[in-house]
Structure 1
């Protein structure tokens, strides 16, 4: 492939050639033309040799991770690269291009520079894939790109992809790692009620379910696994122990803002952070995703320092597209309604009255509702001022029966209505501080009533 640089050099050389011909100049005036031809030939030969004998194998090493939000979210997605140079020349300046396709068929390219691979050498390395947003990606294409020293020509070699090991990369929402464990004060589950990290001790056998990454292999039901051909684990009913439930309200028309100031992303970050805080404190945590495809996820412990794979996948796939009311979506999941929880964490950006009804429902079942209400009005204001330098236009939430303006006043009204049910509520909004600090304040506030009171008194929503 000829680059623009080569085309420009060839055009200049041709112009000098025409000048020399038209003006019948001496032969040494053609020197520039012959020099350009020589450079072209040498560069083309170097380019053709740049990938000869160079082989590369690619596999996805870490397929699950959390997104980043200006914070260290731990180890991100990684690909494992094995390079081998069987040619007689050292390979320098080779590029490795990785193309990922997301669920919307949008492509993103990640480029790595391979500075040098000596002749006869083999190199293995793990390469990180930075700046991936929440979602599910597929490794679409990988290729090596060789060039000459001057960058006049390029040659590409597409690499075969190993489909047997999976080509998907699943990125969950960013996780805020706070120092306060979930067993602290402020309505969180007390330390005396925390369950053990390993299930099966003092619990009653309820049934079986498919194996999920992070499940204890000691609880595999081998007879059922052999019968159906895949791993199945025992599921235990908790006796005398308290559990927490984290619920995400994925109602339609609650996705406002963009970038780092998006209401859906903020609410999912809070859900993921809540789940991690609870699990790291030894508290059993179930997660419910109430969007257009409601899903119930049971989690018993972290996998190392990460969320269990099935929980990360559910968060990565979440989309605010539910059209049914919140209470109708709740009763679509009998697994959730049959269980008794000491604490229910509801994360929502909705102004609909069904959120208040849901708080009353859980209050009537003996649970303590703890609600993180994401103030989308403040997100719209901050996004408009930081990106466009002008006030944001008012958005409207269509709840089916009425249209509710997305304003700070309506969020304050929703806050008051929720508190009347006896629920503990934290209004999480954007301020002049960074999104990370605003989210951390909301997450810490839900575990500390004094922090909540101070936040409601001192916080100024722009």
Structure 2
């Protein structure tokens, strides 16, 4: 990218005079006036010299024909909240003359830190310089970087001219992703194993897909009935395991969360969603993100064609800018869930009322497995400080009703670990918290 067009000529140079240059010009004009009034030739020569120096610097600097290009590279382009990212800048002198003193300043949002500034003494013709700086944000989001500003200065510091580059980049800060252990979830189907074996056992001879025998095929796969019919060896075609599907539902309703900033229940929910999504993608699930607004990422028709890395990038980008919604219910998420067919459903939920619990109970029948992180948001508001180990009666009732509907419910309090809660979802492990209190 190259600098944008800027005014040139003496007028532009005069506007770029520094405090030192303006002082020299003012002193020179004053000396010339005094020399004229006092009829002092020596003082006149001094005044002319003082005034000519900043004017000459401004004229020379405004007429420079530097051709400078720059580039920016982010490492990584997606940074995790709380971790540093490095921005690499490269300045190329594409002209045939060396540059003078160059001052670089990159524009960054204040949440990423102070604006970085660099001084390059001289760049030879066709030469380049590389500099880098670090940025960090504890808040997820998308932050613009740039444009880069180039400041030209004369050796005496009399004049400075700014040139701006037009291109900019975006740094995406994604939620924190915590590693989750492998667990066996109730009702899940991973595309193989017992459920797959039962499906094959139910298939009759008419459902078998056959092909001709090829050297190296396992003789145990020979289909003798078809071999006798066609007069040549026929073998069963290898079964193609179905891709396991999963949906992670994030409750973004403002009425369903409490607290503010990084310590709010909503930020915990976003981080939990990112961790679960990344874990399911690593396990081979075709995973999508769904919110109460009906937004699905990847969208319909896109999930099957995306690789795990593509899907992860799309979902993390969406979670980076996820915000609280004004909705009051989860009804807009039901249609995408019905259209998605059976699969594993993991829901990260805030406060629920009776209607929302009833809707979730009915949705359970359409999924192969269902896990709910149910946030006791009162603990984020400090309303259960005296008895942190037990939820309120209404909260325990919500847990019980969802469990009776077949959900694996993981009650969440402020400060709980996503990793430990996920481990409690293992169907072979001990029951999760609140089971005794809820009477499940």
Q: TM-score range by the shorter chain?
A: 0.5 to 0.7
Equivalent pair of 2:243/2:285 in contact (CA under 8 Å)? no
Could you tell me whether the CA contact under 8 Å between 2:88 and 2:132 is conserved in 1?
Answer: yes
Tell me the SS of whatever aligns to 2:129: strand
After superposition, residues 289-368 of structure 1 pair within 5 angstroms as 289-291=291-293, 293=295, 297=299, 298=303, 301-303=307-309, 307-323=311-327, 325-326=329-330, 328-333=331-336, 336-341=338-343, 343-368=344-369
SS in 2 for 1:160: coil
Q: Secondary structure of the residue that 1:318 maps to in structure 2?
A: coil
Q: Deviations over 1:216-269 (max 9, x none)?
A: xxxxxxxxxxxxxxxxxxxxxx97554222111222423533332133332222
Q: Quick check: 2:376–2:413 contact (8 Å CA) kept in 1?
A: yes
Question: 1:95 pairs with 88, 104, 121, which one?
Answer: 104
- Which region of structure 1 is more displaced relative to structure 2, 360-369 or 84-93? 84-93
SS at 1:156 equivalent: strand
Q: Which residue of 2 aligns with 1:438?
A: 417
Shift of 1:277: 0.7
Matched, 1:144 2:150: yes
Distance 1:414 1:188 in 2: 21
Q: Distance in 1 between matches of 2:345 and 2:293?
A: 18
Which residue number corresponds to residue 279 of structure 2?
277
Rg comparison, structure with higher value: 2
**Secondary structure at 1:57 match in 2:** strand
* Rounded Cα–Cα distance in structure 1 between residues aligned with 2:136 and 2:154: 28
Which has the larger share of strand? 1
In 2, Cα distance between equivalents of 1:71 and 1:108: 13
Tell me if the contact between 2:192 and 2:241 (Cα under 8 Å) persists in the aligned partners. Answer: no
Match of 2:406 among 419, 422, 425: 422
**Is the alpha carbon distance of 1:66 and 1:370 closer, same or farther for their aligned partners in structure 2, counting shifts above 3 Å?**
farther
The match for 1:119 among 113, 116, 124 is: 124
Secondary structure of the 1:323 match is coil
Gaps of at least 5 residues in structure 2 are 1-13, 31-46, 194-239
State the Cα distance separating 1:423 from its structure 2 match.
1.8
Q: How far 1:127 moved relative to its partner?
A: 6.2
> What SS is found at the alignment partner of 1:285?
strand
Per-residue deviation, residues 288-332 of structure 1 (Å, max 9, x unmatched): 1222756664366422xx754433343334332152521x21334
Query: For the Cα contact (< 8 Å) 2:106–2:145, is it kept in 1?
Result: no
| Contact 1:170–1:313 (CA under 8 A) maintained in structure 2 | no
**Native 8 Å contact 2:298 2:315 kept in 1:** no
Could you list the runs of 5+ residues in structure 1 that have no partner in the other structure?
18-33, 162-166, 195-237, 383-390, 393-406, 432-436, 458-462
Aligned to 2:163: 157
CA RMSD of aligned residues (A): 5.4
Deviations 1:10-31 (A, max 9, x none): 7xx99xx9xxxxxxxxxxxxxx
User: Would the aligned equivalents of 2:142 and 2:171 in 1 still touch at CA under 8 Å?
Assistant: yes
